[in-house]
Amino acid sequence: MSVLPSTRLRIRVRGLVQGVGFRPFVYRLAMEQGLSGWVRNDEQGVVMEVQGSTATVLPSLLKTQAPPLARIDAVEVEPRALKDEQGFVIDASQHEGRASAAIGPDAGLCAACIAEICDPRERRFRYPFTTCTHCGPRYTITRSLPYDRPQTSMASFPLCADCAREYGDPNDRRFHAQPLACPACGPKLSMPLAEIVAALRRGAIVALKGLGGFQLLCDARNVDAVKALRERKQRDAKPFAVMVSSLSSARQIVELPVAEATLVSSWQRPIVLARKRLDAGLAEAIAPDLAWLGVMLPTSPLHLLLFHEAAGRPTGTAWLEQPLDFCLVTTSANPGGEPLVITDEDARRRLRTIADVMVTHDREILVRNDDSVARVIDGTPTLMRRARGYVPGPVALPRTTAPVLALGAHLKTTACLTRGREAFVSQHIGDLDDAATYRFLEETIAHLTRTLEVEPQVVAHDLHPDFLSTRLAQSLGLPEVAVQHHHAHVAAVLAEHGRTAPTLGLALDGFGLGTDGGSWGGELLLLNGARFTRLGHLSTLQQPGGDRAAREPWRMAAAALHRLGRGETIVDRFAALGPAAAVRQLLEKQLNAPETSSCGRLFDAACGLLGVKPIATYEGEAPMMLESLVTKPEVLRGAWRVTDGVLSLLPLLDALVGRSAIDGANVFHGTLASALIDWAAPFVIDDVIALSGGCLMNQTLAELLITGFKARGIKPLLSRQVPSNDGGLSLGQAWVAALAMEE
């Protein structure tokens, strides 16, 4: 039998390959193949040299057998001269040039660690900081690259002998696991698990130090506790999420089809919107008047152990296959909409009037990172808030760009920094309504540029001159690119899907300043490179009281009645809700009643006409309630008209007057979708359309549009990796600015 000659290869792997067990994975492959050489982390990812008769098979094995948390973008292979060496080693990390590697997102607890903390024979039995290379904190504990323990908040916890042995054993799943710890050498919880669960059971509100920040917890079945949490947090009706022990427990409170079950149990562990069960037995105040509930599984060992304690400390993992009655409201600890609390000192100061019990630990959180929120649209996971589990994973761009920084708009702000062919969209920052959130944006920009080692050449921002994000961009001393709001929405879709050809975009949104100085929000835009052409828009309605109309849908209903020639009915219909007579005067005299083409305000008008939440307590509340009423969408033919590229839905609004809320919700959603398809289809190029904007968070509308366009042979593209709302805006801004630099 002939023996193959030895070959030596230098192999570079780019992508998410640090902090996910990639080097031990390479080590084990090398041992199996009888190869000599070395592997190490560096600023570009993982690099190795391998030598032996089977060296040429290694590149394909790296791709097909990679660890579960790894993402491989490229494997580059170069031949090298043979060396006289024995064995295979993991070398120390090197960091000589600018970084092009990435830190991994925080990952939910893996099955092996779950089994370990539920087994009394294991030394990590019931240890709240158990982790391995397949799970645990990454981004939120890392200061800079390369991702090694000295660069993390675990640097202050020297490994004990047992942990050091695991860390150095290539056959152990904790081999080179940077957050590795155990009860003897790792972080400590400030109070016993039994006391925490006892407090929750008696109705206390608990502030718990989580992965990316403090959370507020209470018993989801305790009506008084949920009410107290709302009052103390000053959160009137905005829905809370509920954490449960397992899929079996989740199915007791929500309907959980396969796609939703797969998403909620994925290693990213997002909050997933699922339809409520009528017999859930939860406090109604958790998600009042909504058909959907945000549900999540434990994101860390600490969370799981709360349920383990509540279940009576069972041995093994079989208890997770049975439903547990214990459910927890889980919400971010950010009083008043401020940034998430991450330090113990800040928690004691800012949460003392909200929480009855404070639970901390001595592992520092270095990066704020809220829970991600997702829902399934047309069978595909779609992010509504991008944060823990997804950040800082990059979005692949169609081609290499110069480094661009983009700062989003005003609501649901994110920042984006490009590096090569990657766009790094930050975690959810929030609405720039206060100085603290503005500082969080500055903090996020500094962290992105530091960890990615990128100096942006240009900064992109919204067209609106008064947004704080715009003013921050103007203060950075970089060349600026102002990007129209809805142009950025559509561009985000094209960037994510790698489309560079001219494409029609349908932007359905709340508000964005138009190039004509007007209020846009229902737009047909043709994108071509860094430019766009406005081909059409929704017919406009007045906004009596300006921005106030976005918070009081009855005002938009009054505007619809005025435009329909029914202005004399405004006072009788809305007198109990506010200054109806004054609003009628504003409409008639065209004072403080600017026109808007916004699809979001169209939803508000429908809600006001149908009596669905005429005065909202949080952004999007009325449209969300309207969607919750839909049972079977219905198309009312002849309820729209198109003139010179302008789509008028006044006939639809007219038809809603006098209908019941459920009937109206069905007619509105079905007719709106059909009208939009009829309007947009003639403008489509190459049978592709990009759908974008905050209204695409509405599952019913999005799926009606997807189905309708597909029926006409048109391929609809939606944002999936970033939100369709303003949370994805920075990606689109960055892509437009990059194209503008090229041109």
Residue at a domain's end among 70, 90, 110: 90
Q: How far is Cα 334 from Cα 347, in angstroms, rounded to an integer? A: 10
pLDDT at residue 4 is higher than 90: no
CA 15-112-48 angle, 5° bins: 30
Residue at a domain's end among 348, 367, 386: 367
The whole-chain average pLDDT of the chain stands at: 95
Residue 96's pLDDT band (boundaries 50, 70, 90)?
low
- Assess if residue 693 is contained within a domain: no
210: containing domain? 193-367
Give residue 1's pLDDT: 38
Name the phi and psi angles at 350, rounded to 5. Answer: -90, -20
Question: Do residue 381 and residue 340 come from a single domain?
Answer: no
Q: By mean pLDDT, which of 18-32, 243-257, 643-657 is the weakest?
A: 18-32
What's the one-letter identity of residue 92?
A
Among all chains, which residue has been given the structure tokens 């990657």? 422
Residue 564's pLDDT band (boundaries 50, 70, 90)?
very high
Q: How far is Cα 156 from Cα 364, in angstroms, rounded to an integer? A: 10
- Assess if residue 345 is contained within a domain: yes
What are 100's two structure tokens? 């092009």
Question: Do residue 225 and residue 362 come from a single domain?
Answer: yes
Q: Find out whether 511 and 486 touch, Cβ atoms under 8 Å.
A: no
Q: Find out whether 324 and 246 touch, Cβ atoms under 8 Å.
A: yes
Q: What is the DSSP letter of 497?
A: H
What are 548's two structure tokens? 């106030």
Q: How far is Cα 577 from Cα 554, in angstroms, rounded to an integer? A: 8
- Assess if residue 187 is contained within a domain: no
Q: What is the pTM of this model?
A: 0.93
Q: Is 80 left (phi over 0), alpha (psi -120 to 50) or beta?
A: beta
Mean pLDDT of 592-615: 97
Q: Find out whether 705 and 461 touch, Cβ atoms under 8 Å.
A: no
Question: Do residue 36 and residue 73 come from a single domain?
Answer: yes
Question: Do residue 359 and residue 405 come from a single domain?
Answer: no
What CATH number does residue 250 fall under? 3.90.870.10
Q: What is the DSSP letter of 622?
A: H
Mean pLDDT of 50-68: 93
Among all chains, which residue has been given the structure tokens 């954490």? 243
Question: Do residue 356 and residue 407 come from a single domain?
Answer: no
Q: What is the pLDDT of residues 448-484, one digit of tens each?
A: 998 888 999 999 999 999 999 999 999 999 999 999 9
Interhelix angle 599-610/621-628, rounded to 10 degrees, is 60
Q: How far is Cα 514 from Cα 484, in angstroms, rounded to an integer? A: 7
The 3-state DSSP class for residue 650 equals helix
Q: What is the pLDDT of residues 622-677, one digit of tens each?
A: 999 999 999 999 999 999 999 999 999 999 999 999 999 999 999 999 999 999 99
The tally of domains found in the chain comes to: 3
Q: Find out whether 188 and 136 touch, Cβ atoms under 8 Å.
A: no
Question: Do residue 349 and residue 493 come from a single domain?
Answer: no
Q: Find out whether 426 and 729 touch, Cβ atoms under 8 Å.
A: no
Most confident of 5-9, 337-341, 528-532: 528-532
- Assess if residue 475 is contained within a domain: yes
Residue at a domain's end among 39, 55, 90: 90
The 3-state DSSP class for residue 628 equals helix
